[in-house]
Amino acid sequence: MSENQFFQSAISVNCVVFGFDGKELKLLLIERELEPYKGDWSLPGGLVYPREDLQAAASKVLHSITGMDSIYRAQLKAFAATDRHPFGRVITVAYLCLLRHVEADLTESTFAKTTQWFNVNRRPDLVFDHEKIVSAAVTRLRENIRSRPIAFELLNEKFTLPELQLLYEKVLGKSLDKRNFRRKISYMDFLQDTQEVQKQKMYRPAKLYRFNTELYQEAKQEGYVFSL
Amino acid sequence: MSENQFFQSAISVNCVVFGFDGKELKLLLIERELEPYKGDWSLPGGLVYPREDLQAAASKVLHSITGMDSIYRAQLKAFAATDRHPFGRVITVAYLCLLRHVEADLTESTFAKTTQWFNVNRRPDLVFDHEKIVSAAVTRLRENIRSRPIAFELLNEKFTLPELQLLYEKVLGKSLDKRNFRRKISYMDFLQDTQEVQKQKMYRPAKLYRFNTELYQEAKQEGYVFSL
DNA sequence: ACAAAAGTGTTGACATTACACCCATGC
DNA sequence: GCATGGGTGTAATGTCAACACTTTTGT
On whether residue A228 sits in a domain, the answer given is no
A216 to chain B, minimum CA–CA distance in Å? Answer: 21
Q: Same domain, yes or no, for B40 and B96?
A: yes
The verdict on B122 and B15 lying in the same domain is yes
Q: Are residues A161 and A134 in the same domain?
A: no
B119 with B68, same domain?
yes
pLDDT-based confidence at residue A35 (cuts at 50, 70, 90): confident
Nearest CA distance, A92 vs chain B (angstrom)? 10
What's the pLDDT tens digit per position in B125-170? 999 999 999 999 999 999 999 999 999 999 999 999 999 999 999 9
Is the CB of A93 less than 8 angstroms away from the CB of B75? no
**Are A124 and A29 in contact, with CB atoms under 8 Å apart?**
yes
In a shared domain, residues A36 and A129: yes
Minimum CA–CA partner of B49 in chain A: A6
Beta bridge partners of B158: B210
Is any atom of nucleic acid chain D found less than 7 Å from the CB of residue B84? Answer: no
- Residue A2's pLDDT band, with cuts at 50, 70 and 90, is very low
Residue A185 in domain: yes
Query: Does residue B228 lie within any of the structural domains?
Result: no
- Domain at A170, CATH number: 1.10.10.10
Last residue of a domain, one of B112, B128, B149: B149
Domain boundary among B149, B176, B207: B149
Question: Reduced to 3 states, what is the DSSP secondary structure of residue B210?
Answer: strand
Nearest CA distance, A12 vs chain B (angstrom): 9
Residue B139 lies in a domain: yes
Give the CATH number of the domain where residue A22 resides: 3.90.79.10
Decide: CB of B204 under 7 A of nucleic strand D.
yes
Residues B122 and B165 in one domain: no
Among A123, A149, A175, the domain boundary falls at A149
Which residue pairs, CB below 8 angstroms and at least 24 apart, start in B116-122? B116/B28, B116/B29, B116/B30, B116/B31, B117/B19, B117/B21, B117/B26, B117/B27, B117/B28, B117/B29, B118/B26, B118/B27, B118/B28, B118/B29, B119/B24, B119/B25, B119/B26, B119/B27, B120/B18, B120/B24, B120/B25, B120/B26, B120/B27
B125 and B60 co-located in one domain: yes
Strand D footprint nucleotides (protein C-beta < 7 Å) = 3-10, 16-20, 23-27
Smallest Cα distance from A128 to chain B, Å = 16
Region B15-36: what's the mean pLDDT? 95
Closest CA to A59 of A104, A13, A28: A13
**B226 domain residue, yes or no:** no
Give a yes or no: residue A138 inside a domain: yes
Instruction: Determine, for residues A5 and B93 on separate chains, whether the beta-carbon distance falls below 8 Å.
Output: no
Judge whether A78 lies within some domain: yes
Same domain, A101 and A198: no
If one counts the domains in chain B, the total is 2
- Chain A 169-198 contacts with nucleic strand D (CB below 7 A): 177-180, 184, 197
The span from the CA of A12 to the CA of A24, in Å, is 29
Question: pLDDT digits over B28-87, tens only?
Answer: 999 999 889 999 999 999 999 999 999 999 999 999 999 999 999 999 999 999 999 999
A29-38, A183-192, B91-100, B176-185: segment of lowest average pLDDT: A29-38
A73 with A167, same domain: the answer is: no
Q: Which of B103, B74, B80 is nearest to B16 (CA)?
A: B74
Q: Residue B1 — very low, low, confident or very high, per pLDDT cuts 50/70/90?
A: very low
CB contact under 8 A, A80 and B54: yes
Q: Which A residues 41-70 have CB within 7 Å of strand C?
A: none
Mutate to test the interface with A, among B1, B3, B7 (most CBs of A within 10 A): B7
**Chain C bases closer than 7 A to any CB of the protein:** 3-10, 16-20, 23-27
Partner residue facing B10 (CB), from A9, A54, A81: A9
Residue A184 CB lies within 7 Å of the nucleic strand C:
no
Give strand letter and number of the nucleotide nearest B203 (CA to C1'). Answer: C25
Span A148-163, pLDDT tens digits? 999 999 999 999 999 9
Residue B206 CB lies within 7 Å of the nucleic strand D: yes
User: Are residue B143 and residue B205 in the same domain, yes or no?
Assistant: no
Enclosing domain of residue A166:
157-221
Tell me how crowded residue A96 is: count the other CB atoms within 10 A of its CB: 22
Q: Tell if the CB–CB gap between A81 and B53 is shorter than 8 Å.
A: yes
Q: What would the pLDDT profile of B164-182 be if each residue is shown by its tens digit? A: 999 999 999 999 999 999 9
Say if the Cβ atoms of A52 and B91 lie within 8 Å: no
Is the CB of A203 within 7 Å of strand D?
A: yes
pTM, rounded to two decimals: 0.94
Asked if A50 lies within 8 A of B77 by C-beta distance, the reply is no
| CA dihedral sign, ordered A68, A157, A42, A95 | positive
Q: Which of residues 197-216 of B touch strand C (CB under 7 A)?
A: 197, 200-205
Which residue has the closest alpha carbon to D2 C1'?
A: B203
- What's the whole-number mean pLDDT along residues A191-210? 92
Q: Protein A177 CA to nucleic acid C12 C1', in Å?
A: 17
pLDDT digits (tens, 9 = 90+) for A51-78: 999 999 999 999 999 999 999 999 999 9
Q: Is residue B183 part of a domain?
A: yes
A1 pLDDT band (50/70/90 cuts)? very low
Q: Which residues of A touch B (CB under 8 A)?
A: 1, 3, 5-11, 35, 47-54, 75, 77-78, 80-82, 87-89, 91, 93
Domain identity same for A183 and A142: no
User: Are B47 and A89 in contact (CB < 8 Å)?
Assistant: no
Q: Which residues, in sequence order, are bridge partners of residue B75?
A: B95
The answer to whether residues A105 and A188 belong to one domain is: no
